[in-house]
A and B are shown apart, each in its own frame.
Chain A
Amino acid sequence: MLIGVVIISLTMYTSVLSRSRDFAVMRAIGGRRRDIAVVVVSEALIIAGVGLFIGFLMLAVLLNATAASSIPSYFPARIPPILAGGTLLVSLLGSLIALRVALKAEPASVFH
């Protein structure tokens, strides 16, 4: 879980840092800090959602492929929701540093 938080933190941090100017523009034209927060958190959740979809799709393929084998894969039904919840939590935790960077974007910085 810690590794997941670190990877997502770095990815989101790099992404947000490279777009600091865009966030400053959004603030200058009337965006509030909470509007910026919505953008960053939404991105984290979209990344998590896409990751979950791909992960579950691969899991389904694996389960299907091994269903007829003498050693079928077993995956309890209670695990996917726990994994999904954990992934979303990791993504949100991972986006906190990026969120801090994005919220620091000052609208005055768009003027030279």
Chain B
Amino acid sequence: MSTLRLIKIARDFSDGRQMRRVLFPTDLEFAGGELAVLSGPSGSGKTTLLSIMGLVLRPSEGRLLLDELDVTRLSDEEAATVRLRQYGFVFQQPMLIEGLSVMENILLAHGIRGGRAGHDIRLKAEGLLKTLGLDGTAHLQPRLLSGGMKQRASIARALIKNPSILLCDEPTSALDAESGQAVMGILKRIALEEGRIVVVVSHDARVFPYADRLLKLENGVVVSETREAYTEANKSN
């Protein structure tokens, strides 16, 4: 199982006149097999933290270790390669590319560097669609799917490369309650049964009961961390 360690990770942004710290030095460790939820009010730094963990934003300070390999200062190209091999992303909006079919969207990562998905990869994509309840949608254009179906298709796109880390930014915020629960159930299963690191950013309290680990951020600081007990407490309520 993969591990992702954040050591004194901090991030500053410039507002044009002065530097503003949006994430204060943070130490965290994530391991496969658990679903972690980062929660907090708007502007608390949770998306910044997720972006740094996803190698799409460099920290101003600190170190990021992926499987004990320092990935803090990778070049643009090296970071893209690590993302391609080890990361899956689920965004707030499904962000499927219109003009490509659902299957072509799922296979995007395989073709992005000029490669071509083989028969086995297509079979895997079909299997993912089936698992995610999207049987028979492979040839459809994304605009023909409901919001929940699009989000599930984006989960299939994230999983096709068999990533060890799945980062999700508000994956349920654009969905109705039923679709949101379905998506969270899928993410929970992916974490527990497939042993991946799954980190979900959300301020939606309906997501919290799915968390094995709940981290709350305020003003760029992790102010509380609850493990397992939170879920159990909620289950019993």
User: Chain A: residues with CB nearer than 8 A to chain B?
Assistant: 21-22, 25-33, 35, 38, 106-108, 110-112
Contact = CB atoms under 8 A, between A and B. Distances in A.
Contact of A108 (B56, B77, B87, B161): B56
Contacts of B85: 30
Given A27-B56, A29-B83, A29-B87, 16 more contacts: A22-B95, A28-B89, A29-B84, A29-B108, A30-B85, A30-B87, A30-B113, A33-B77, A107-B56, A108-B51, A108-B56, A110-B95, A111-B56, A111-B91, A111-B169, A112-B92
Given A111-B51, A112-B170, A30 B81 contact: yes
A33 B149 CA distance: 30
A41 B30 CA distance: 40
Interface string B77-101: 1001101110101011001010000
Contacts of B54: 28, 111
B50 A111 contact: yes
Interface in B197-227: none
B155 interface: no
B142 to A, nearest CB: 11
B27 to A, nearest CB: 22
Nearest to B58: A108
B157 interface: yes
B89 A29 contact: yes
A28 to B, nearest CB: 6
B169 A112 contact: yes
A111 B108 CA distance: 19
Contacts of A29: 83-84, 87, 89, 108-109, 112, 157-158
Interface of A (DSSP majority class): helix
Contacts of A22: 95, 97
A111 B89 CA distance: 10
B16 interface: no
B172 interface: no
A69 to B, nearest CB: 45
Q: Which of A27, A29, A33, A38 has the most CB of B within 10 A?
A: A29
Nearest to A110: B91
Given A110-B89, A112-B169, A25 B97 contact: yes
Contacts of A27: 56, 80
B41 to A, nearest CB: 14
Nearest to A19: B97
22 contacts: A22-B95, A22-B97, A28-B54, A28-B56, A29-B83, A29-B108, A30-B81, A30-B83, A30-B84, A30-B161, A31-B80, A31-B84, A32-B77, A32-B81, A32-B113, A107-B80, A108-B51, A108-B56, A108-B57, A111-B56, A111-B91, A112-B92
A30 B109 contact: yes
Interface string B14-35: 0000000000000000000000
B118 interface: no
A61 B50 CA distance: 60
A27 B83 CA distance: 9
